[in-house]
Amino acid sequence: MSKKVISPGQDIVASMVPEFKKRLQEIIIEEGITELDIDLTGVEMVDSVGLGAFIATHNTLSQKNGKLTVINASNDIYSLFKTMRLDQHFEIKQV
Amino acid sequence: MLIDHETTDIYIQETNQSLAEIEQNLILLEDMGAQIDMSLAKRVYHAMHVIRNGASLLALSKMKELSQKIENVLGLICTNRLTPNPEVINILLQGIDHLYQLIDRIYSNDEMDIDEQSVLLTGLTSAVLPDNIKQSVTEVRDIPLPDGKHAFQIPELNLIQVLEQGKNIYILIFDLIKDVQNKNNTPFNFVRYIQQHGQIIDSMFDIQSVGTLEEQEYGSEEMPYFVLLASSISDKQLKKALDLASHQIQQVTIDLDDLIHPTTKQFQQGMTLSIANQSRKTDNKKRVDLLNAFSCELKFAMDCLSNQSLSVGKKRVQSVLNSLQDLLNQENSVLASKILWKIGRNIRDYAYQSNLQIKFYLKCGLIKMDHRILYRLIEPLTNIIIQMVRSAQTNTTVQICLKMTTIDHMIHMSLSFVDPQVLKQETYLNLDIAEKKIQALSAEVKQSFELKAGLNIAIRIPQKIIIIPGYHIVIDENHYIVPKFNLKECLTNLDPLKWRKEDSSIIFNHNEKNIRIVELSNKDVSYFKNKQSLIVCEVGNKCFGLATDSTDIFEMDVVCQPLGKQLDSNPLIVANCLLDDGQIAFVLDMGFLLKMLDNNKHSTKTI
Amino acid sequence: MAIAFLIIFMEVNVSTQKAEKDGKVDLATFYVGEALCGMDILKIQEINKNMEITSVPNSPDYVVGVLNMRGRIVTIIDVCKKLGLQKSDITDTRRNIIVNSQSEYIGLLVDKVAEVVPAEWRKVTPPPSNVRGVQGKYFEGVYKKDNALIAILDIEEVLKDESVS
C-alpha cells in the first residue's frame, strides 16, 4: 500500500495530457503506487482529453485494487465532475 | 376481491414459484460474500417487482406494501448501496416467508394481524438500512441504454415529478472527443449548454470504453457519455439545438399512469395469463382424450367379463389401472431438486441462528419423485441433518451431503458427512421422530457406522407409491381416512337437539336439511349427541353423515399399504396407512358406507 | 403311515435345505392357551413383545389388529382364538411371532414363548384328527420330547382366511 500525491499545477488539457499520462504511468506501474491523489491546486480548467486521463487513471488503478482521489478541486471543476457523475467512480474533494 | 378467481389462482401459482426462486437466489447471494453477481441481484429485484405489480393489480394492499419494501431493499443492493450480508438476507427471507403466508391467505378474510405486519416492515427497514439511506428509500426504475450494457437507475419519485411537469424524457448519446473536443469545446461549456435546454436527471460515462492508461496509448480515444434529459422541447428541436445526429437522441416513453398504477406490467401480466390459460386448455384437452381412451378400454373389458372371457377382461382392467397409475405418477412427479432445495434453506436458517457454519450439498441428479412425498421428506431430513450437525462437535464448517440414486424402482437416499472423520467415535443418532415420519411414506431408514465411511443414514423409498389425498378423522378411538373427493363438509359445534331417530335411521338436521347418518355400530341417539363433529360425505349423488370424535379434520396425502390377507375381506376398509406419529389409520370404503345407509333404511341389522 | 411320512417330507422340502439334508429341525416352542405348540424356527422372522396393536373395526375376533413394525403394517392373529382354545389369563408373557407367509409378514400372538427344541423329522408323528380339542388340520405333526407333546403348527393352515364375506 503506497501512496503518492501528484500536482500538475497547470490546466489539464490536450496539449499536456500525453506527458501527464506518461508520468502517471510511471508512478503507478514503475513505482507501484496504488493510492494516488491528484492535487488540482492551480488547475482552472480540464478539457475532454483531460477528463479522459482521469478516467483512464482510475481504470488503471482499479485493476490493481488501488484508489484515485482528486483533491483541492476548484468550485467549477468540482461541480463539473459531480454533474458528470465522476464522483460515482472516484472521490473528489473541494478546496 | 376485484379480479376473478382464475386470474387470482394464476397469480398465486406464479408468485409461489417466483418466491421459491427468489428465496434460493437470496441464499446464493449471501454465499457470494463481497463479490456479488450483480445480474443475479437484478434478477431477484425484477422478480420482486413483478410480484409487487401483481399485488397492486389485484388490490392486495398488504402484499403490495411488503413486496414494495422488499423491492426497495433489493434495489439498494443492486445499486451497491447495501451489502447482502447475513443480517440483511435474514430479514429479506423473513419478508419472503411472510409473503408466502399472505399468498396462502388470499382467499380467506382473516386479516393478518396488523401489528405483526408492521413490526416486520419496520424491522425490514430499520434493522437493515443506515440512517442516511432510510429517508431516501423509494422505488428505483431501470431505464436501459441502447447499447444494452448500461441502464440508468432513477428513483421513480424523480420521474414522476418530471412527467407531472409535462416534460419529455430523452437519452442523449455523446462521445466527448468527437462531440466536444473536436468541436473545440470544453466539457464545462458543453454541459452548461445542455442544461440550458432541459434538466439533467442523470448521466453516466461508459468508463470501460475509455480504457486504462496503457490501452489509451494504443487505441483511438473515445469517451462515450450518456445523458438522461428532461425537456419540454420536442426531439426535433433538441436535435437542432444540440447539433445531434439521429442516433444520438432517443425518447423514453414512460406513462405517468404507468408509474403510479403500473399498467404496462399489467399488460405483460395479461399476456402471461392468456398464455397460461392456453396451456391449461391444451392440457385439459389431452386429459379428456386420455380418459376417453381409458373408458373405451374399460367398456371393452366389461364386455369381455360379461362374455365369460375372464382372463382377458381382467387383463384389460389391470392395464387400464396401471396406465391410470402411471398417468397420476407422471402428473405428480417433479424433479427432486425442485423441492428438496428447501432443506438447504432450513439448514441455512439453523446455521444462522446457532452461529454455526454448515454447508449442505444436494446431489439428486435428474431423479423425479411424487411432489407430495418430497414435501413430506423436507422436515424429517432437516431434522436428521441437524442432529448430525449437533453430533459433530467441531468448530469448523460441517459439510453434509445428501445423495440420491435409483436402483430397481427404489429411490435410495444417503446422508453422510463429507469428511467422515468429523465424528471421532462410533455414534448413533436418536432418529425416532424423523423415522416415524419417513416410515409413514412406506420408506425404510437405516443407520450405519463404519470406520472409514463414518456415519451414514440410508433411506429407501419405493418409486411407485399409492397416495390417497384425504382427511384424517377419529371415530371411537379408531383413526380413519376419508378420501378427499368424498368429503363435502365438516360441521362442528353440533347442537345436540338436532339429532333424532326416525324409523331405524339416525338423522341430523342441518339448515333445514335432514342428513342421514351411517352408524358403524348400532348405537342409539344418546351416543351421537356426544360426538364432536359431523362429516358430510358425498358418494356419487348421494349424501350421508359420519359422526366423529375429532374437533377438526386434518388434510393428509397418505401413503397406503395394501391390507394384509386377513383383512382383505373386511368390507369397511380398503387400505391402511401410517400417520406421522406412527399411528395406523384405515382408509374407509365409501361405497360400503353408502350401502350400509341403504341397509339401515330397511332394517336395524348391524354389521 | 408311509403316506403321512411322504407328506411330511414334501413339507420339509418347502422349508430350508438344512432340514432337508439331515432331517433335523429346531422347533421354537410356545404356549397357545395351555397347549404347547411348535414351529420350524427358520420360518420365524422375529419375536417381539410390542403390544401396541391397533384393533381393526369390523374384523373377525381372531384378528387382534395391526402393528407398526418399523414402518411395515403387520396383521396380528390371535392363535388361541383361531384354534378355538381357552385363553390364558396371564398377559405379560404374550409375544408376537412374526412369520413370512406368501410374501407377507404376519404376526402370531401367543401366550408364552418357551425353549427351542432340537428335533428330527423322522420322529415327528402325524397329527391325530383332534389335538386337545383342536382340529388336526392345523397341525403338521406331533413331536414327543421327554414328557411333553409338542404340536407342530401348520402355519399356512392357521393363517387361512375363514371369514365369511
Q: Is the pLDDT of residue B119 over 70?
A: no
Whether residue B567 and residue C63 make contact (CB cut-off 8 A), yes or no, is yes
Residue B504 has pLDDT above 90, yes or no: no
Residue B605 pLDDT > 60, yes or no? Answer: no
Q: Which residue of C has its CA nearest to B585?
A: C54
Q: Which amino acid is at B329?
A: N
pLDDT of residue A94: 85
More confident: C140 or B123? C140
Range of weakest confidence among B238-247, B510-519, C97-106: B510-519
Q: Within a 10 A sphere around the Cβ of B168, how many other Cβ atoms?
A: 19
The C-alpha cell at B47 is 422478480
Class of domain B5-137: mainly alpha
CA-based end-to-end distance of chain B: 50
Per-residue cell: B488: 363435502
Residues 6+ apart with CB under 8 A from A36: A3, A4, A5, A6, A24, A27, A28, A57, A61, A66, A67, A68, A69
Q: List, for residues C32-55, the tens digit of each pLDDT value.
A: 888 899 999 999 999 998 888 999
Closest Cβ opposite residue B564 in set C55, C58, C106: C106
Residue C26 lies in a domain: yes
Q: Does C57 touch chain B (CB under 8 A)?
A: yes
Question: In the 3-class helix/strand/coil scheme, how is chain C assigned residue by residue?
Answer: CHHHHHHHHHHHHHCCHHHHHHCEEEEEEEEECCEEEEEEHHHEEEEECCCCCECCCCCCCCEEEEEEECCEEEEEEEHHHHHCCCCCCCCCCCEEEEEEECCEEEEEEECEEEEEEEEEHHHCECCCCEECCEEHHHEEEEEEECCEEEEEECHHHHHCCCCCC
Q: What pLDDT does B109 receive?
A: 55
Residues 6+ apart with CB under 8 A from B9: none
Which subunits have 3 or more CB–CB pairs within 8 Å of chain C? Answer: B
pLDDT at site B55: 85
Q: Is the pLDDT of residue B131 over 70?
A: no
Domain B141-260, CATH 3.30.70 — does that match?
Answer: yes
Judge: C71–B573 Cβ closer than 8 Å, yes or no: no
- Give the gap in angstroms from C-alpha C79 to the nearest C-alpha of chain B: 13
Q: Measured between alpha carbons, how far is C112 from B488 in angstroms, rounded to an integer?
A: 49
- By Cβ distance, the residue of C57, C60, C104 closest to B520 is C57
Order of strands, sheet of B199-205, starting from the edge strand that comes earlier in the sequence: B199-205, B224-231, B168-175, B249-252
Grid cell locating C13: 422340502
Measured between beta carbons, the chain A residues lying within 8 angstroms of B191 are: 80, 83-84
Q: Does the structure show a pLDDT above 60 at C5?
A: no
Q: Is residue C129 very low, low, confident or very high in pLDDT (cuts 50, 70, 90)?
A: confident
The answer to whether the Cβ–Cβ distance between C104 and B520 falls below 8 Å is: no
- Highest-confidence range of B218-222, B480-484, B538-542, by mean pLDDT? B480-484
Residue B307 main-chain phi, psi, to 5 deg = -95, 15
pTM over 0.90: no
- pLDDT-derived band at B256 (thresholds 50, 70, 90) equals low
Residue A46 has pLDDT above 90, yes or no: yes
pLDDT digits (tens, 9 = 90+) for C42-91: 999 999 988 889 999 988 889 999 999 988 999 999 998 888 887 777 78
Q: What whole-number distance in Å separates Cα of residue B176 and Cα of residue B227?
A: 12
pLDDT in tens, A49-74: 999 999 999 999 988 888 999 999 99
B211 touches chain A (CB under 8 A): yes
Number of CB pairs, chain B paired with chain C, less than 8 A apart: 77
Return the H-helix or E-strand segment holding B56: helix B38-57
Q: What spatial distance separates the first Cα and last Cα of chain C, rounded to whole Å?
A: 38
Cβ pair B567:C77 closer than 8 A: no
For residue C38, being part of any structural domain is answered with yes
Instruction: Look over chain B and give the mean of its residue pLDDT values, rounded to a whole number.
Output: 83
Residues of C within 8 A of B438 (CB-CB) are 71
d(CA C111, CA C34): 9
Shortest CB distance from B565 goes to which of C70, C71, C104? C104
Whole-number pLDDT of residue C106: 94
Can you give the residue range of the structural domain that contains C44?
2-159
What is the mean predicted confidence (pLDDT) over B517-542?
A: 84
SS3 B424: coil
CB contact under 8 A, A84 and B208: no
Spell out which residues of chain A touch residue B196, defining contact as CB-CB under 8 Å: none
pLDDT, mean of residues C24-28:
90
C165 assigned to some structural domain? no
The answer to whether B591 and B539 have CB atoms below 8 angstroms apart is yes
The pLDDT tens digits of the residues spanning B1-19 come to 456 788 888 888 889 999 9
Chain B within 8 Å of C61 (Cβ-Cβ)? no
Residue C117: which of C18, C23, C41, C7 has the closest Cα? C41
The domain that contains C35 carries what CATH number? 2.40.50.180
Q: What is the pLDDT of residue C98?
A: 94
Contact A/B (≥3 CB pairs under 8 Å): yes
A52·B210 Cβ contact <8 A: yes
Residue C164 lies in a domain: no
CA atoms within 13 A on the CB side of B250: 15
**Architecture of the domain defined by B334-462:** 2-Layer Sandwich (3.30)
Task: Using CB atoms, pick whichever of B188, B203, B221 lies closest to residue A76.
Answer: B188
Q: In this predicted structure, which of B36-50, B119-133, C123-137 has the lowest mean pLDDT?
A: B119-133
Res. B134: pLDDT tops 60 = no
Contacts of B574 in chain C (CB under 8 A): none
